[in-house]
Structure 1
Amino acid sequence: MLAETICSAVSAAGLGIAAVTAYRRRFLTATRIAAYALVPVALVLTGAVEWVAGMVFKPSVWIGVGLLGVAWLLLMATRAVERRTLGRPAKQKEPRGQKEPRAAGGRPARDAVAPDASAPSLGAGPRPGRAPERAAAPADDFSDIEAILKKHGI
Protein backbone atom coordinates (compact mmCIF):
# COMPACT_ATOMS: atom_id res chain seq x y z
CA MET A 1 0.00 0.00 0.00
CA LEU A 2 2.81 2.42 0.87
CA ALA A 3 4.77 1.57 -2.30
CA GLU A 4 1.71 2.21 -4.48
CA THR A 5 1.15 5.59 -2.83
CA ILE A 6 4.77 6.61 -3.33
CA CYS A 7 4.69 5.55 -7.00
CA SER A 8 1.49 7.52 -7.57
CA ALA A 9 3.00 10.63 -5.94
CA VAL A 10 6.15 10.35 -8.07
CA SER A 11 4.04 10.03 -11.22
CA ALA A 12 1.89 13.03 -10.29
CA ALA A 13 5.00 15.14 -9.62
CA GLY A 14 6.54 14.07 -12.93
CA LEU A 15 3.39 14.93 -14.84
CA GLY A 16 3.35 18.34 -13.15
CA ILE A 17 6.94 18.97 -14.20
CA ALA A 18 6.03 17.87 -17.74
CA ALA A 19 3.15 20.37 -17.78
CA VAL A 20 5.44 23.22 -16.70
CA THR A 21 7.96 22.20 -19.34
CA ALA A 22 5.26 22.16 -22.02
CA TYR A 23 4.10 25.61 -20.87
CA ARG A 24 7.65 26.82 -21.64
CA ARG A 25 7.18 25.48 -25.19
CA ARG A 26 9.70 22.65 -24.85
CA PHE A 27 7.32 20.00 -26.11
CA LEU A 28 9.85 17.27 -26.92
CA THR A 29 11.35 17.43 -23.43
CA ALA A 30 7.88 17.60 -21.85
CA THR A 31 6.82 14.46 -23.72
CA ARG A 32 9.93 12.63 -22.56
CA ILE A 33 9.31 13.67 -18.92
CA ALA A 34 5.68 12.56 -19.15
CA ALA A 35 6.77 9.17 -20.49
CA TYR A 36 9.13 8.67 -17.56
CA ALA A 37 6.46 9.87 -15.13
CA LEU A 38 4.00 7.21 -16.29
CA VAL A 39 6.40 4.32 -15.59
CA PRO A 40 5.80 4.09 -11.79
CA VAL A 41 2.01 3.97 -12.22
CA ALA A 42 2.39 1.33 -14.92
CA LEU A 43 4.53 -0.78 -12.58
CA VAL A 44 1.89 -0.51 -9.85
CA LEU A 45 -0.90 -1.51 -12.22
CA THR A 46 1.00 -4.53 -13.57
CA GLY A 47 1.73 -5.81 -10.05
CA ALA A 48 5.49 -5.50 -10.44
CA VAL A 49 5.78 -3.28 -7.35
CA GLU A 50 3.92 -5.83 -5.21
CA TRP A 51 6.12 -8.63 -6.56
CA VAL A 52 9.35 -6.72 -5.82
CA ALA A 53 8.12 -5.69 -2.35
CA GLY A 54 7.24 -9.30 -1.57
CA MET A 55 10.64 -10.43 -2.78
CA VAL A 56 12.62 -7.80 -0.85
CA PHE A 57 11.07 -8.63 2.50
CA LYS A 58 11.49 -12.44 2.29
CA PRO A 59 14.45 -13.85 4.24
CA SER A 60 14.80 -16.75 1.80
CA VAL A 61 15.47 -14.27 -1.01
CA TRP A 62 18.26 -12.63 0.97
CA ILE A 63 19.75 -16.04 1.76
CA GLY A 64 19.77 -16.75 -1.99
CA VAL A 65 21.46 -13.41 -2.71
CA GLY A 66 24.05 -14.19 -0.04
CA LEU A 67 24.73 -17.61 -1.55
CA LEU A 68 25.19 -16.05 -4.98
CA GLY A 69 27.70 -13.64 -3.44
CA VAL A 70 29.59 -16.48 -1.75
CA ALA A 71 29.70 -18.43 -5.03
CA TRP A 72 31.06 -15.39 -6.87
CA LEU A 73 33.71 -14.82 -4.18
CA LEU A 74 34.78 -18.48 -4.37
CA LEU A 75 35.13 -18.29 -8.15
CA MET A 76 37.18 -15.09 -7.97
CA ALA A 77 39.37 -16.51 -5.20
CA THR A 78 40.15 -19.65 -7.19
CA ARG A 79 41.06 -17.54 -10.23
CA ALA A 80 43.36 -15.35 -8.13
CA VAL A 81 45.05 -18.36 -6.52
CA GLU A 82 45.46 -20.05 -9.89
CA ARG A 83 47.09 -16.97 -11.39
CA ARG A 84 49.38 -16.50 -8.41
CA THR A 85 50.56 -20.12 -8.11
CA LEU A 86 50.87 -20.97 -11.78
CA GLY A 87 51.95 -17.65 -13.18
CA ARG A 88 50.99 -18.91 -16.64
CA PRO A 89 48.16 -20.86 -18.20
CA ALA A 90 48.07 -24.63 -17.90
CA LYS A 91 50.15 -26.57 -20.42
CA GLN A 92 48.32 -27.63 -23.52
CA LYS A 93 49.31 -30.61 -25.59
CA GLU A 94 51.01 -29.66 -28.83
CA PRO A 95 50.22 -31.51 -32.04
CA ARG A 96 52.98 -33.84 -33.15
CA GLY A 97 55.60 -32.30 -35.37
CA GLN A 98 54.40 -28.72 -34.78
CA LYS A 99 56.38 -27.30 -31.91
CA GLU A 100 56.52 -23.58 -31.45
CA PRO A 101 59.82 -21.93 -30.60
CA ARG A 102 59.96 -21.28 -26.88
CA ALA A 103 61.12 -18.11 -25.17
CA ALA A 104 62.46 -17.83 -21.63
CA GLY A 105 60.02 -19.24 -19.07
CA GLY A 106 58.64 -21.91 -21.38
CA ARG A 107 56.14 -19.59 -23.07
CA PRO A 108 55.76 -19.64 -26.86
CA ALA A 109 57.87 -17.01 -28.59
CA ARG A 110 55.76 -14.53 -30.52
CA ASP A 111 57.08 -12.63 -33.51
CA ALA A 112 55.97 -9.09 -34.16
CA VAL A 113 53.26 -8.74 -36.78
CA ALA A 114 55.23 -6.10 -38.67
CA PRO A 115 58.74 -5.90 -37.21
CA ASP A 116 59.86 -3.11 -39.58
CA ALA A 117 56.65 -1.07 -39.36
CA SER A 118 58.32 1.80 -37.48
CA ALA A 119 61.19 2.09 -40.01
CA PRO A 120 60.80 4.66 -42.82
CA SER A 121 59.56 3.12 -46.04
CA LEU A 122 62.19 4.54 -48.41
CA GLY A 123 65.16 2.21 -48.17
CA ALA A 124 65.96 2.57 -44.49
CA GLY A 125 65.08 -1.03 -43.66
CA PRO A 126 67.57 -3.59 -42.38
CA ARG A 127 70.28 -4.53 -44.84
CA PRO A 128 71.60 -8.04 -45.12
CA GLY A 129 75.05 -8.49 -43.63
CA ARG A 130 74.75 -5.65 -41.13
CA ALA A 131 74.04 -5.99 -37.45
CA PRO A 132 70.66 -4.56 -36.37
CA GLU A 133 70.84 -1.16 -34.70
CA ARG A 134 70.11 -0.84 -31.01
CA ALA A 135 66.77 0.56 -29.95
CA ALA A 136 66.69 4.26 -29.19
CA ALA A 137 66.68 5.40 -25.58
CA PRO A 138 63.20 6.06 -24.11
CA ALA A 139 63.88 9.83 -24.05
CA ASP A 140 64.46 9.79 -27.84
CA ASP A 141 61.18 7.97 -28.44
CA PHE A 142 59.18 10.85 -26.97
CA SER A 143 60.98 13.64 -28.85
CA ASP A 144 58.60 13.33 -31.82
CA ILE A 145 55.59 13.51 -29.53
CA GLU A 146 56.99 16.55 -27.75
CA ALA A 147 57.58 18.28 -31.09
CA ILE A 148 53.98 17.65 -32.15
CA LEU A 149 52.64 18.95 -28.85
CA LYS A 150 54.81 22.09 -29.08
CA LYS A 151 53.65 22.65 -32.65
CA HIS A 152 50.03 22.69 -31.47
CA GLY A 153 50.82 24.86 -28.44
CA ILE A 154 50.13 22.19 -25.85
Structure 2
Amino acid sequence: MGTAAKTLGPALRLAWLVLPARLVEPVVEAKRHLDLQSETIGQLALAELIGDHGYDRQVRTVRRRYRQRRDLLLNRLGDRSAVAGVAAGLHATVHLRPGGPTEGAVLAAAAARGLAVGGLAMHRHQPESGPPGLVVGYARPPAHAYPAAVDLLAGVLRDLDA
Protein backbone atom coordinates (compact mmCIF):
# COMPACT_ATOMS: atom_id res chain seq x y z
CA MET A 1 0.00 0.00 0.00
CA GLY A 2 1.14 3.48 -0.62
CA THR A 3 -0.09 7.01 -1.04
CA ALA A 4 1.11 10.18 -2.69
CA ALA A 5 -0.57 12.32 -0.02
CA LYS A 6 2.59 13.04 1.95
CA THR A 7 4.87 13.60 -1.03
CA LEU A 8 2.67 15.36 -3.59
CA GLY A 9 -0.24 16.67 -1.58
CA PRO A 10 -3.20 15.26 0.37
CA ALA A 11 -5.76 16.86 -1.93
CA LEU A 12 -4.74 14.49 -4.72
CA ARG A 13 -6.26 11.54 -2.85
CA LEU A 14 -4.08 9.05 -4.75
CA ALA A 15 -3.17 5.71 -3.25
CA TRP A 16 -2.34 2.25 -4.50
CA LEU A 17 -2.24 -1.41 -3.56
CA VAL A 18 0.03 -4.10 -4.92
CA LEU A 19 -1.93 -7.30 -4.50
CA PRO A 20 -1.42 -10.99 -5.11
CA ALA A 21 -3.28 -12.03 -8.25
CA ARG A 22 -5.93 -13.92 -6.26
CA LEU A 23 -7.01 -10.70 -4.47
CA VAL A 24 -7.18 -8.33 -7.44
CA GLU A 25 -10.73 -9.16 -8.55
CA PRO A 26 -12.27 -9.19 -5.04
CA VAL A 27 -10.66 -5.83 -4.24
CA VAL A 28 -11.79 -4.33 -7.56
CA GLU A 29 -15.31 -5.59 -6.88
CA ALA A 30 -15.31 -4.16 -3.35
CA LYS A 31 -14.10 -0.81 -4.67
CA ARG A 32 -16.96 -0.73 -7.18
CA HIS A 33 -19.35 -0.74 -4.23
CA LEU A 34 -17.47 1.91 -2.25
CA ASP A 35 -17.35 4.74 -4.76
CA LEU A 36 -18.39 5.63 -8.25
CA GLN A 37 -14.95 5.98 -9.79
CA SER A 38 -11.43 7.14 -9.25
CA GLU A 39 -10.46 10.39 -10.86
CA THR A 40 -8.40 9.82 -13.98
CA ILE A 41 -6.29 12.94 -14.51
CA GLY A 42 -4.44 12.59 -11.20
CA GLN A 43 -3.77 8.92 -11.89
CA LEU A 44 -2.36 9.70 -15.33
CA ALA A 45 -0.21 12.50 -13.94
CA LEU A 46 1.15 10.22 -11.22
CA ALA A 47 1.86 7.50 -13.80
CA GLU A 48 3.82 10.05 -15.82
CA LEU A 49 5.77 11.17 -12.74
CA ILE A 50 6.60 7.56 -11.90
CA GLY A 51 7.55 6.77 -15.48
CA ASP A 52 9.98 9.66 -15.88
CA HIS A 53 11.37 9.30 -12.30
CA GLY A 54 9.97 12.68 -11.23
CA TYR A 55 8.19 10.99 -8.33
CA ASP A 56 11.48 9.48 -7.10
CA ARG A 57 13.10 12.91 -7.20
CA GLN A 58 10.19 14.41 -5.26
CA VAL A 59 10.38 11.68 -2.60
CA ARG A 60 14.11 12.31 -2.14
CA THR A 61 13.49 16.06 -1.89
CA VAL A 62 10.79 15.83 0.78
CA ARG A 63 12.71 13.19 2.75
CA ARG A 64 15.69 15.53 2.91
CA ARG A 65 13.45 18.46 3.90
CA TYR A 66 11.71 16.52 6.68
CA ARG A 67 15.02 15.13 8.00
CA GLN A 68 16.41 18.67 8.17
CA ARG A 69 13.33 19.79 10.09
CA ARG A 70 13.63 16.88 12.50
CA ASP A 71 17.33 17.64 13.02
CA LEU A 72 16.47 21.28 13.75
CA LEU A 73 13.93 20.13 16.33
CA LEU A 74 16.54 17.89 17.99
CA ASN A 75 19.14 20.65 18.08
CA ARG A 76 16.89 23.39 19.40
CA LEU A 77 15.10 21.41 22.10
CA GLY A 78 18.40 20.42 23.72
CA ASP A 79 18.24 18.35 26.89
CA ARG A 80 14.78 19.48 28.03
CA SER A 81 13.23 16.48 26.28
CA ALA A 82 14.09 13.42 24.24
CA VAL A 83 12.98 13.11 20.64
CA ALA A 84 12.10 9.50 19.90
CA GLY A 85 11.38 7.43 16.84
CA VAL A 86 13.07 6.91 13.53
CA ALA A 87 14.40 9.79 11.47
CA ALA A 88 11.59 9.46 8.94
CA GLY A 89 7.99 10.47 8.64
CA LEU A 90 6.19 13.70 9.24
CA HIS A 91 6.24 14.06 13.01
CA ALA A 92 8.40 13.38 16.02
CA THR A 93 7.54 12.09 19.46
CA VAL A 94 9.00 14.34 22.13
CA HIS A 95 9.18 12.77 25.60
CA LEU A 96 9.16 15.31 28.39
CA ARG A 97 11.86 15.16 31.03
CA PRO A 98 10.92 13.29 34.24
CA GLY A 99 10.21 15.81 36.97
CA GLY A 100 9.67 18.51 34.36
CA PRO A 101 6.44 20.15 33.29
CA THR A 102 3.33 18.06 32.76
CA GLU A 103 2.02 17.32 29.31
CA GLY A 104 -1.07 19.42 30.03
CA ALA A 105 1.00 22.40 31.15
CA VAL A 106 3.14 22.25 28.01
CA LEU A 107 0.10 21.94 25.74
CA ALA A 108 -1.63 24.89 27.42
CA ALA A 109 1.49 27.08 27.27
CA ALA A 110 2.11 26.14 23.64
CA ALA A 111 -1.50 26.90 22.68
CA ALA A 112 -1.29 30.26 24.47
CA ARG A 113 1.64 31.11 22.19
CA GLY A 114 -0.17 29.96 19.05
CA LEU A 115 1.58 26.61 18.67
CA ALA A 116 -0.39 23.57 17.56
CA VAL A 117 1.21 20.47 19.06
CA GLY A 118 -0.50 17.33 20.25
CA GLY A 119 -0.09 15.37 23.44
CA LEU A 120 0.87 11.71 23.60
CA ALA A 121 -1.92 10.94 26.08
CA MET A 122 -4.61 11.40 23.45
CA HIS A 123 -3.02 8.63 21.37
CA ARG A 124 -3.18 6.05 24.15
CA HIS A 125 -5.99 3.70 25.09
CA GLN A 126 -5.31 4.61 28.72
CA PRO A 127 -4.17 8.26 28.57
CA GLU A 128 -2.12 8.22 31.78
CA SER A 129 -0.44 4.87 31.06
CA GLY A 130 2.79 6.27 29.66
CA PRO A 131 5.29 9.08 30.04
CA PRO A 132 4.21 12.63 29.20
CA GLY A 133 5.11 13.86 25.78
CA LEU A 134 4.23 15.70 22.62
CA VAL A 135 3.64 14.90 18.99
CA VAL A 136 5.31 17.58 16.89
CA GLY A 137 4.49 17.69 13.20
CA TYR A 138 7.12 19.12 10.91
CA ALA A 139 5.66 18.67 7.45
CA ARG A 140 2.93 21.29 7.43
CA PRO A 141 4.54 24.53 8.58
CA PRO A 142 5.97 26.62 5.75
CA ALA A 143 9.77 26.65 5.56
CA HIS A 144 10.01 30.28 6.67
CA ALA A 145 7.87 29.67 9.78
CA TYR A 146 9.23 26.35 11.03
CA PRO A 147 12.46 27.53 12.77
CA ALA A 148 10.56 30.22 14.69
CA ALA A 149 7.90 27.68 15.74
CA VAL A 150 10.59 25.30 17.02
CA ASP A 151 12.24 28.17 18.91
CA LEU A 152 8.85 29.03 20.41
CA LEU A 153 8.38 25.42 21.56
CA ALA A 154 11.89 25.39 23.04
CA GLY A 155 11.00 28.63 24.85
CA VAL A 156 7.82 27.06 26.25
CA LEU A 157 9.82 24.13 27.62
CA ARG A 158 12.55 26.43 28.99
CA ASP A 159 10.02 28.73 30.69
CA LEU A 160 8.12 25.85 32.28
CA ASP A 161 11.37 24.26 33.46
CA ALA A 162 12.46 27.41 35.27
Larger Cα-atom Rg: 1
| More strand as a share of residues | 2
Under a length normalisation based on structure 2, what TM-score does the superposition of the two structures give?
A: 0.27
| TM-score computed with the length of structure 1 as normaliser | 0.28
Structure showing the higher helix proportion among its residues: 1
